[in-house]
DNA sequence: TTGAAAGCGCTAACAG
DNA sequence: CTGTTAGCGCTTTCAA
């Protein structure tokens, strides 16, 4: 085993060892020219001393950190984990490291993530804002590095974004419920004043109209975007409107809570009440009855956001602002009337029907 | 709105602006002394120009990046997300940023994460190895920065670690099954040659012995640590041993797959077959029947690992190696015979019995 | 092709 | 208390 001096070798150590200049070491190590003789000496010295270039020095010199940040509201929500996985894959493949910033759905934290770009520790940011306040617009406008927002933004803001078509997604769900004979369709929403919350509500309302069903405030309830809140909201709603025959839930977590509430109030899913979630997370397949869910393309959004950010980082010239939208698909599973018998007869996992 | 020059102001910009030296700027901005007059001028200039110190320069100078890395096998597994959440909270509170490295359960990737410490982009690493090969031991020995391993390590390796007592956890589960009258208890394991896989197997075998039940290879099956694999393994096992009355699953994902297999082969849980998972992830409460699960203290492990790493980073002196172990608890839910009636009568979420 | 030298932006002696 | 100065480790002109 080789001797370990206290501190790691620098480019100068290698230079001395190889009898060349630091400039030559730098060149050789990055594959730029060099006399075969020189190259060999440098490589030998580097190998022998176990030299690895210092990333911080390189970043300072080069003006870029080769790191990107993903800031999202709640790491406990599998939909963000799905995004993260694809962001990490895309960024990693391009040689970028991934920094995580969990904002706790706190706008202050979101702004902090934006402002943190000023210290140049990160070359760019992918942000999932839960709300878009004037302060957000302001900070987005003056961000010190490229930002891609996953979510909807005002038209006139010159910031790249990737959004789900949440309204259409909600429509898909509600329409499917109506088409399969449901008439008293409730909405279990997250905070109505958040971007996703507002979108779900809008889609719900619009779809009802399209199906000739009347919108009724009494059929809606809102809370947080988690299972416990979903369960509580479902109980409240069911108390108030016992004859509901379907629940459209703003995400899968809420839907899982709703399933619990339904079960504990003696209702059968989907016979008595059909349930649809949103995000098509792993939870949808894990719960029972397996959850019909609107896939808003979290994977796709993560990948696209990362690609957008990377291309922005690579660009010399200012490419025009991109505003991507991914199409939702409805994944029909048992919670929504696909007969259990049908599901039972198949061997493999992941049986579902897809409505694009 | 203030004018935006192309590049951000440096400490020198501020110095000129305030009519002082860069050293004074540095001092003032870090709260070290200064004449009130000077302080005011500097702060004014910094505020006016929107100055933020460059993190890379600071890191290079200071010899530390104020970043730590968490490397884990599979970000799709909620147990790692749980760890991550607490690592992020602990590290974040101490002013460290969190880098993510998903290793895909690939030993090569794990080694890469270890070696990457050499470039000093990260001050320390929390590693969840899925396997510990001789190469791991070697790299752990020569790591360029402090490492904390979440998992078991050979006694003679001088590396901090936090482990779950997975063997005791398995015993808790199997013993509970035996105590509640189960006699044909199967094991659905992940890869047997991984650290967690081996531990689950060992605990299973040991608990059977303690309960006077005979170990039988035919009652075990193994695959990967995910739901699909769990479902397939469960099918194989049930085909082979139709009269199983309990399944001990190596993690919650496998257990979820097992629930699916049981349902689709017409068995009722827990009446026909009781099921226990491991990790007590959110999944355990999401599925139905709610899953009895061994809580191996993922939160605790994440927090402790982060604290260990941070204290190691702060230490001037070499503190002795820490080897922490967290105690498992069995969280009993419906999949294991807690009567559904009992669960139904309660209003709130998270009803369960806890066996420490 | 190679080496000398000038920084990237910051902090920390060390004098004054 | 403040300014001068010397780097942290690297890349990159610019000459030779």
Specify the pLDDT at position B312. 94
For residue B353, give both structure tokens.
């019995």
| In contact, A276 and A336? CB cutoff 8 Å | yes
Q: Look up residue A217 and give its DSSP letter.
A: G
This prediction's pTM:
0.92
> Distance (Å, rounded) from C-alpha B68 to C-alpha B83?
14
Specify the pLDDT at position B133. 94
Does B72 share its domain with B188? no
- List the Cα angle B302/B338/B208 in 5-degree steps: 70
Specify the pLDDT at position A345. 32
Tokens 């920065």 belong to B145
Specify the pLDDT at position B317. 66
Alpha carbon separation from A135 to A58, A122, A148, A155 (Å, rounded): 34, 21, 17, 16
For residue A18, give both structure tokens.
């190889």
Residue at B261 is within a domain: yes
SS3 content of chain A, % helix, strand, coil (to 5): 45, 15, 40
> Distance (Å, rounded) from C-alpha A31 to C-alpha B119?
18
Estimate the crossing angle of helix B22-29 against helix B36-49, to 10 degrees: 90
- List the Cα angle A66/A68/A74 in 5-degree steps: 155
* Residue range A148-160, pLDDT digits in tens: 999 999 999 999 9
Whether A88 contacts chain B with CB within 8 A: yes
Lowest mean pLDDT among A16-20, A345-349, B162-166: A345-349
Does B232 share its domain with B338? yes
pLDDT bracket for residue A356 (50, 70, 90): low
Proximity of residue A35 CB to strand D below 7 A? no
State the DSSP H helix or E strand holding residue A292, giving kind and residue range, or none if neither.
Answer: strand A292-295
Residue at A265 is within a domain: yes
From the centroid of its chain, how far is CA B78?
9
Residue at A59 is within a domain: no
Whether A256 contacts chain B with CB within 8 A: yes
Q: Look up residue A96 and give its DSSP letter.
A: -
Q: Which of B27, B50, B49, B51 is nearest to B38 (CA)?
A: B27
From the centroid of its chain, how far is CA B135?
22
Residues 6+ apart with CB under 8 A from A111: A135, A136, A139
- The backbone torsions φ and ψ at residue B121, rounded to the nearest 5 degrees and listed phi first, read -75, -20
Ranges of H-type helices in chain A? 11-18, 22-29, 36-49, 55-62, 78-93, 107-115, 134-141, 166-179, 195-210, 227-240, 252-264, 282-286, 298-314, 340-344
Does A117 share its domain with A229? no
Does A171 share its domain with A208? yes
- The backbone torsions φ and ψ at residue A329, rounded to the nearest 5 degrees and listed phi first, read -135, 145
Residue at B1 is within a domain: no
* CB-nearest partner of A56 from B65, B263, B288: B65
Quote the percentage of chain A above a pLDDT of 70: 92
CA–C1' gap, B221 and C15, in angstroms = 75
Does B257 share its domain with B302? no
Question: Which of helix, strand or coil describes residue B60?
Answer: helix
Question: Which of helix, strand or coil describes residue A279?
Answer: coil
| Each residue's pLDDT expressed in tens, for chain B with a length of 356 residues | 333 446 789 999 999 999 999 999 999 999 997 899 999 999 999 999 999 999 999 999 999 999 999 999 999 999 999 999 999 999 999 999 999 999 999 999 999 999 999 999 999 999 999 999 999 999 999 999 999 999 999 999 999 999 999 889 999 999 999 999 999 999 999 999 998 999 999 999 998 998 899 999 999 999 999 999 999 999 999 999 999 999 999 999 999 999 999 999 999 999 999 999 999 999 999 998 999 999 999 999 999 999 999 999 987 667 899 999 999 999 999 999 754 333 333 333 344 556 65
Tokens 């807690």 belong to B338
Residue pairs spanning A and B at CB distance below 8 A: 140
pLDDT bracket for residue A348 (50, 70, 90): very low
pLDDT bracket for residue A9 (50, 70, 90): very high
Proximity of residue A61 CB to strand C below 7 A? yes
Does B115 share its domain with B215? no
Proximity of residue A7 CB to strand D below 7 A? yes
Does A265 share its domain with A172? yes
DSSP for B222-277, please give it: E--SSHHHHHHHHHHHHHH-TT--EEEESSHHHHHHHHHHHHHTT--TTTT-EEEE
Q: Which of B107, B117, B140 is nearest to B69 (CA)?
A: B117
Number of domains in chain B: 3
Does A41 share its domain with A89? no
- List the Cα angle B170/B173/B177 in 5-degree steps: 140
Specify the pLDDT at position B166. 87
Specify the pLDDT at position B185. 96
> Distance (Å, rounded) from C-alpha B106 to C-alpha A309?
27
Residue at A71 is within a domain: yes
| Residue A228 C-alpha, separation from nearest chain B C-alpha, in angstroms | 6
DSSP for B72-115, please give it: ES-TTSHHHHHHHHHHHHHHHHTT-EEEEEE-TT-HHHHHHHHH
Mutate to test the interface with A, among B6, B56, B270 (most CBs of A within 10 A): B56
For residue B114, give both structure tokens.
């270890």
Does A142 share its domain with A257? no
> Distance (Å, rounded) from C-alpha A268 to C-alpha B80?
34
Residue at B60 is within a domain: no
| Residue B347 C-alpha, separation from nearest chain A C-alpha, in angstroms | 8
Does B338 share its domain with B217? yes
Estimate the crossing angle of helix B134-141 against helix B107-115, to 10 degrees: 10
Nucleotides of C under 7 A from a protein CB: 1-5, 7-13
Tokens 């979903």 belong to A230
> Distance (Å, rounded) from C-alpha A153 to C-alpha B13?
35
* Residue range A60-83, pLDDT digits in tens: 999 999 999 999 999 999 999 999
Does A28 share its domain with A104? no
CATH code of the domain covering residue B124: 3.40.50.2300
Specify the pLDDT at position B356. 59
Residue of A nearest to B121 (CA): A55
Residues 6+ apart with CB under 8 A from A62: none
Residue B36 structural domain: 11-53
Residue at B137 is within a domain: yes
State the DSSP H helix or E strand holding residue B186, giving kind and residue range, or none if neither.
Answer: strand B185-189
Residue at A4 is within a domain: no
> Distance (Å, rounded) from C-alpha B218 to C-alpha B230?
16
* Residue range A97-123, pLDDT digits in tens: 999 999 999 999 999 999 999 999 999
Alpha carbon separation from A324 to A159, A163, A327 (Å, rounded): 11, 6, 10
| CB pair distance less than 8 Å for B81 and A76 | yes
| Residue B231 C-alpha, separation from nearest chain A C-alpha, in angstroms | 8
Proximity of residue B192 CB to strand C below 7 A? no
Whether B46 contacts chain A with CB within 8 A: no
Does A212 share its domain with A337? yes
């Amino acid at each position: 085993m080789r001797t370990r001096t206290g501190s790691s070798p620098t480019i100068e150590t290698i230079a001395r060892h190889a009898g060349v200049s630091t400039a030559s070491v730098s060149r050789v190590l990055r594959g730029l020219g060099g006399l075969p003789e020189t190259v060999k000496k440098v490589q030998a010295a580097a190998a022998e001393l176990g030299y690895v270039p210092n990333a911080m020095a390189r970043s300072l010199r080069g003006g870029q950190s080769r790191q990107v940040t993903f800031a999202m509201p709640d790491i406990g929500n599998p939909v963000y984990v799905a995004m993260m996985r694809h962001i990490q894959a895309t960024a990693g493949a391009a040689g970028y490291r991934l920094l995580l910033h969990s904002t706790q759905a706190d706008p202050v934290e979101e702004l902090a993530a934006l402002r943190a770009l000023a210290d140049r520790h990160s070359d760019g940011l992918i942000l999932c804002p839960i709300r878009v306040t004037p302060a957000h617009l302001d900070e987005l406008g003056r961000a010190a590095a490229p930002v891609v927002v996953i979510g909807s933004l005002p038209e006139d803001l010159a910031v790249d974004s990737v959004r789900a078509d949440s309204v259409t997604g909600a429509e898909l769900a509600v329409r499917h419920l109506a088409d399969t004979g449901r008439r008293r369709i409730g909405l279990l929403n997250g905070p109505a004043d958040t971007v996703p919350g507002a979108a779900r509500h809008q889609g719900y309302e619009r779809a009802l109209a399209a199906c000739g069903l009347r919108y009724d405030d009494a059929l809606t309830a809102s809370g947080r975007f988690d299972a416990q809140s979903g369960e509580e909201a479902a109980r409240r709603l069911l108390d108030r409107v016992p004859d509901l025959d379907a629940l459209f839930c703003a995400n899968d977590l809420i839907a899982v809570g709703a399933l619990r509430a339904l079960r504990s109030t003696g209702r059968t899913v989907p016979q008595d009440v059909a349930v649809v979630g949103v995000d098509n997370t792993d939870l949808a397949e894990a719960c029972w009855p397996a959850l019909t869910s609107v896939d808003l393309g979290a994977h796709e959004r993560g990948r696209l956001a990362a690609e957008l950010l990377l291309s922005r980082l690579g660009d010399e010239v200012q490419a025009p602002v991109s505003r991507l939208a991914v199409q939702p698909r409805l994944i029909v599973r048992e919670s929504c009337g696909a007969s259990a018998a049908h599901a039972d007869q198949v061997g493999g996992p992941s049986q579902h029907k897809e409505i694009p």
